């Protein structure tokens, strides 16, 4: 079964180039490798209106899964949950499960530093426990701010922190198993060929022919040097049922591609 996924990455720091969007790259790779189809990545500002409108637009496209990253912390610019509440027209309120998660993380932090564990929750700490009504908190094993899960018109929405280690931990523990179950027997396979001495424009019709002959195999060319000295990676991918033997189909397509390239004056320098 094809599982369509959309990623929404929230943060001004991403849009001004202060921080590279490594979360999107990591999430897209992980989701693809468990058989999902990532069909859109959106990067937006830390504003309630932008978050709300972007979520509503994504839900209208009816992907099976939406994952947001960023904006769950205690500071003024962490507005993801406010934006989601606006999108759903739901009240933002302290969630008792989320509050307990935040408390436990604060107590663990104090205990490790031999500080008093009788903690009075501050407004910034309470902010991290405030979720839209009818939202399920998701445990964050290595950070203070919990994630969240919502079910919207057949789409599951996971709201994850932007700290990469925390986001990755929650994805691996919570989202990846869900995607594997939903994808069923679909698996993702990939391999690469590296080609010298042939221009990308000359490769284009060869790639087209191989994709026609090998239905379900996708071939993408990635130039790695200037056109004066062409060195190109050809990345072959396939997502299909295990019984359809995708690795064998990739091998067949790669073999056909190598023959065509060599006939047209190119040279295969390496393969993975």
What is the per-residue DSSP string for 71-132? --SSSTT--HHHHHHHHHT--EEE-HHHHHHHHHHHHHHHHHTT-----PPPHHHHHHTEEE
47 neighbors 106 (Cβ within 8 angstroms):
no
Give yes or no for residue 186 having a pLDDT over 80. yes
Q: At the topology level of CATH, where does 186-271 sit?
A: Alpha-Beta Plaits (3.30.70)
- State pLDDT tens for residues 103-135: 998 888 878 877 777 778 899 999 999 999 999
pTM greater than 0.85: yes
Residue with tokens 């280690």: 165
Give yes or no for residue 38 having a pLDDT over 90. yes
Tell me what the pLDDT averaged over the chain comes to.
94
Q: Which of 192, 216, 218, 175 is nearest to 34 (CA)?
A: 175
4-183 has which CATH code?
3.40.980.10
The reported pLDDT for the residue numbered 195 is 95
Where do the structural domains in the chain lie, given as residue ranges?
4-183, 186-271
- State pLDDT tens for residues 211-236: 999 999 999 999 997 667 889 999 99
131 neighbors 93 (Cβ within 8 angstroms):
yes
Conformational region of residue 89, where left means phi above 0, alpha means psi within -120 to 50, and beta covers everything else? left
- pLDDT-derived band at 192 (thresholds 50, 70, 90) equals very high
Tokens of 48: 């309630």
Task: Tell me the sheet residues that pair with 178.
Answer: none
The reported pLDDT for the residue numbered 226 is 67
Mean pLDDT of 83-89: 97
């Amino acid at each position: 079964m094809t599982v369509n996924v959309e990623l929404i990455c929230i943060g001004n720091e991403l849009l001004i180039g202060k921080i590279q969007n490594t979360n999107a790259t990591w999430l897209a790779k992980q989701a693809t490798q468990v058989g999902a189809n990532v069909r859109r990545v959106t990067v937006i500002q830390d504003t309630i209106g932008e978050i709300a409108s972007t979520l509503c637009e994504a839900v209208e496209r009816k992907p099976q899964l939406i994952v947001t990253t960023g904006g769950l912390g205690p500071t003024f610019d962490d507005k993801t949950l406010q934006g989601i509440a606006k999108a759903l027209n739901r009240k933002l309120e302290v969630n008792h499960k989320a509050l307990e998660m935040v408390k436990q993380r604060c107590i663990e932090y104090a205990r490790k530093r031999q500080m008093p564990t009788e903690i009075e929750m501050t407004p910034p700490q309470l902010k991290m426990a405030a979720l839209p009504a009818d939202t399920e908190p998701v445990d964050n094993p290595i950070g203070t701010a919990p994630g969240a899960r919502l079910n919207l018109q057949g789409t599951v929405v996971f709201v994850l922190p932007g700290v990469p280690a925390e986001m990755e931990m929650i994805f691996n523990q919570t989202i990846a198993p869900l995607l594997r179950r939903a994808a069923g027997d679909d698996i993702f396979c990939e391999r690469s060929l590296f080609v010298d001495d042939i221009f990308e424009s000359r490769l284009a019709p060869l790639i087209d022919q191989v994709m026609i002959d090998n239905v379900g195999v996708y071939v993408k060319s990635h130039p790695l040097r200037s056109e004066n000295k062409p060195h190109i990676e050809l990345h072959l991918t396939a997502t299909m049922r295990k019984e359809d033997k995708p690795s064998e189909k990739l091998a067949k397509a790669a073999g056909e591609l190598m023959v065509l390239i060599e006939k047209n004056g190119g040279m295969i320098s390496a393969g993975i």
